[in-house]
Structure 1
Amino acid sequence: MNLIETSFGVDPTPRRADGEYMAHAKITTPAVDGQGVQIIMSGDLAGFDEREDAIVFARTWAREWIDTYVQKATLQKQ
């Protein structure tokens, strides 16, 4: 992870539904080049029996999303 990626905010707090923890992530992008921040909501990613498993899954998903977002932004600037 580089400095750009560390400026993203990630909230992996799961929600409780039907007896399980639903993993989802809220990602806040940094304000760059005069643009405001963006808030990205993943939607439900997967259900887990353990809260911590849902958090780990959401964080991993968010990290992969951020990596892809940064790569696309880097390619567009080239």
Structure 2
Amino acid sequence: MKLVNWSYAKRYNIKAIFDEFPHVVVWFRQIGGYYFIFTMKGLTPEHIPNRRDYVKMEYLLNKDLGLLEAYKARKYKV
């Protein structure tokens, strides 16, 4: 999976698009120095990401923003 595009949105959110789910816009919010998935727009019943996909998306975005160490130090890990 690759991060195709991301941009800042209103109220300190980030919206991103990933190559494995190009029709889905993933919204992230910041907590504790890193970003996590808040919501997704454009999901279809045939293409629903699983937990591993969520973690990969969060990892890629935080890596791109330079927040990977804070993300790795979070309390809940899979």
Same fold (TM over 0.5): no
Question: Going by fraction, where is helix more abundant, 1 or 2?
Answer: 1
TM-score by length of 1: 0.31
Question: Normalising to structure 2: TM-score of the pair?
Answer: 0.31
| Structure (1 or 2) with the larger CA radius of gyration | 1
Higher relative contact order (CA 8 A, sep 6+): 1
Structure 1 or 2: larger strand share?
Answer: 2
